[in-house]
Amino acid sequence: MKDAWRTYKYVAKKKGKTFGEVLKSTWKMAKLQVSMKKAMDSKSQPLSGLKSACKAVSYDWSGVTEAAVYPDNHRGYLGSKYCGD
């Protein structure tokens, strides 16, 4: 009812609609939202067991040095090889 009144007050009055028309459309939208929520819940229920199967993997990078990750020639354009004129 509160949504219908707000819609009537700010939108529908300018378009020339009556409060009864706005109330009907608001009830239709509320019913649609309820049915969509039920459909989404029933759709996600079979997949709810799969959510726990995927576990996030984290790696410990604290003991890794820069030399283990990057090659010797990782700095600059074309590595550390100088291409002079």
Domain boundaries, the chain: 1-36
Tokens representing 69 are 């990750």
14-53 burial, b at 16+ Cβ within 10 Å, e below that, comes to: eeeeeeeebbeebeeeeeeeeeeeeeeeeeeeeeeeeeee
Please, what are the averages of pLDDT over each run of 10 residues along the chain (85 residues)?
83 87 92 94 73 73 80 67 63
Q: In this structure, how many other beta carbons lie within 10 angstroms of the beta carbon of residue 4? A: 20
* Predicted pLDDT of residue 54: 64
pTM of the model: 0.47
Give the whole-angstrom CA distance, residue 27 versus residue 76: 65
